[in-house]
Structure 1
Amino acid sequence: MSAAPQLTPARLAAADFDATVPALAELLAAAVADGASLGFRDPFGPAEAADWWQAQRPAVAAGDLLVWTARRPDGALAGTVGLALTRKANGSHRAEIVKLMVHPGSRRRGLAARLLAAAEQTASRHGVGLLLLDTEAGSGAEALYQGPAGPGSASSLAMPPTRSAGCATGASTTSGSPDAL
């Protein structure tokens, strides 16, 4: 049996956003149904997910929300992540990782780490030195954000230098899921 091909994240062009919304909505609905901590509760279907993604259109068009996708060889969307930049004068050094999700059928292959690395590298190129994110304490996603130092250590919230030079990630873990980006 041959190994599954490694899926590569690609930045979604703003011009392609509307055409991609149905696939993004299906992915979001599948991830929520599978229990992912994304700020929504089941039941949450593709129609509600599409509404959420459509509400992001202005931010994508303005370049304030950068989105990456990764597709399987058959063209189906396997994962996505967003990087929400800020135009606030006192916030140009920070951004937020939003809606990092991998389809349940594409998990455990390193795709989430590759999506996160793509967002981190772009954040660094934008001069961002602080990345924020929210996740649920005890969730499967928490380990991805903890880094090699593990939970509870002073350096557990800093991404290793090999992941993104000069870009620290502050992981805010919560017992509930905020409805923010």
Structure 2
Amino acid sequence: MQIGVVLRRSPGVTQWARWSWRAVAALPGAGSADWVLLRQDGDVSEFHAATHTMELHGADTESYLHGLHAQLPCLYVVMRATEDDQRPFDVVLVTASPYEAQDYCDSGEDVVEKIVMPEVVKAWVRDFVTRYHTEEVFKKRKRDKKDVTRVEDGVGDPRIKQLVDVYRSPVSAKKERLQ
């Protein structure tokens, strides 16, 4: 589904940030756009920054389900800062998966904004989850019967005869023998 992203520019509240940018709306079924001015009210401006194709994947249905059951279902817009003052962000991705959005938050290089999921998108995602989601049964792993108290596997070097420092390198033991 084509999703247009609306970004709002408002004056910054500190001397270090001239402008404050936020993703404020999603436009389902929008045509292509490249920073089209939608509305201006004094110093506050809203731009249709970009339109991206949002894809749903069968392997991510658990994540979509988690997002739909949130108090307020949201879409996530991933943006990357640019050097251009007229187009300060590139919209990288629009997703309905909170797990995927979290992955982009981990890098620290991208800006991830939450916007309210429009009803038509919510219905589309819900229909997809209903059609493709299968509940996975939890399988508890069982321990093998190996007795782990008998041998210390991988501890120290067998070439070292001294038991007090089993982590010492064999090179230093060889030097001591030569002296």
Over alpha carbons, which structure has the higher Rg? 2
Q: Name the one with the larger helix percent.
A: 1
Q: What TM-score results when the alignment is normalised by the length of structure 1?
A: 0.24
Q: What TM-score results when the alignment is normalised by the length of structure 2?
A: 0.24
Q: Name the one with the larger strand percent.
A: 2
Higher relative contact order (CA 8 A, sep 6+): 1
